[in-house]
A and B are shown apart, each in its own frame.
Chain A
Amino acid sequence: NAGVTQTPKFRILKIGQSMTLQCTQDMNHNYMYWYRQDPGMGLKLIYYSVGAGITDKGEVPNGYNVSRSTTEDFPLRLELAAPSQTSVYFCASSRQNPNEKLFFGSGTQLSVL
């Protein structure tokens, strides 16, 4: 029962470095999402995808990029990391029906110093 798997769980970056957060799901879900969660705040949507080859910006996309080459994988790329990107990042997925539940990964805690 893997569900949504995120790697790595923790990472420390220096300002200006780049990295990719990995997300994969084994439920054959069409919809996938990237959220960030800052302390005391709700989750903010970064990017989402409704299927392979289709992505779109969410509320806070600046400084990030995504790709969706397969149904299973939805990596999030951070270019030129900044301290403002210190956060916990969650990947989620759901079926195509909007009344289906969202399934979340366990998160990646990222610090940019």
Chain B
Amino acid sequence: KQEVTQIPAALSVPEGENLVLNCSFTDSAIYNLQWFRQDPGKGLTSLLLIQSSQREQTSGRLNASLDKSSGRSTLYIAASQPGDSATYLCAVRPLGQAGTALIFGKGTTLSVSS
């Protein structure tokens, strides 16, 4: 059974620091891995999607990498800002039948202080 783990559960950093969030998964048979952002009381917003054949994706100050063989992904946030404070979730889409749903980690709650 696919399991997704995120470490650490919470992280506090001062503004301007570069940081890395970690995600690991137990089964490498995946279509892709997605990183989401969730603000308190809000829904999830997809930040980056890395297909299984890709190594990384970038969007602005965000860079996500994928090492499928080792079951690991990282989300790198450069020059963090208070507006980056949120919970970040990673999720994998297992290979399988049509419509296979994402399996989520529990998230890392990030707090960036000014």
Interface residues of A (CB under 8 A from B): 4, 30-31, 33, 35, 40-43, 45, 48-50, 56, 58, 90, 92, 96, 98-99, 101-107, 109
Given known A48-B99, A49-B99, A58-B101, contact A107–B42 (CB-CB < 8 A): yes
Q: Are B42 and A42 in contact (CB under 8 A)?
A: no
Q: Across the interface, do A98 and B100 meet the contact criterion of CB distance under 8 Å?
A: yes
- The residues of B with any CB-CB pair to A shorter than 8 Å are 4, 31-32, 34, 36, 41-46, 49, 51, 89, 91, 93, 98-107
B99→A56 contact, CB < 8 A: yes
Q: Judging by beta carbons under 8 Å apart, are B49 and A42 in contact?
A: no
**B32 in contact with A99 (CB, 8 Å):** yes
The reply to whether B31 and A102 contact each other, CB–CB distance below 8 Å, is: no
Residues of B within 8 A of A104 (CB): 36, 43-45
Is the beta-carbon distance between B99 and A107 smaller than 8 angstroms?
A: no
Let me know if A45 and B93 touch, CB within 8 A: no
A33 to B4, CA, bound (A): 19
Inter-chain contact count A-B, CB under 8 Å?
58
| Contacting residue for B89 out of A4, A42, A92, CB 8 A | A42
Contacts of B100 in A (CB 8 A): 98
Known pairs A48-B99, A106-B42 / 6 extra A-B pairs, C-beta < 8 Å: A30-B99, A41-B106, A42-B89, A99-B51, A102-B102, A109-B41
Separation of A103 and B99 alpha carbons in the complex (Å)? 14
A33 to B103, CA, bound (A): 12
How many whole Å from B33's CB to the nearest CB in chain A? 11
| CA distance in complex: A104, B104 (Å) | 14
Evaluate contact between B101 and A90: CB separation under 8 angstroms: no
Smallest Cβ-Cβ distance to A47: which chain B residue: B101
**For residue B46, which residue of chain A has the nearest CB?**
A101
- Which of chain B's residues have a CB closer than 8 A to the CB of A35? 104
A-B contact pairs, 28 of them (CB 8 A): A30-B99, A33-B101, A35-B104, A40-B106, A42-B105, A42-B107, A43-B89, A43-B104, A45-B101, A45-B102, A48-B99, A49-B99, A50-B98, A50-B99, A58-B101, A96-B98, A98-B32, A98-B93, A99-B51, A101-B34, A102-B44, A102-B46, A102-B102, A104-B36, A104-B45, A107-B41, A107-B43, A109-B41
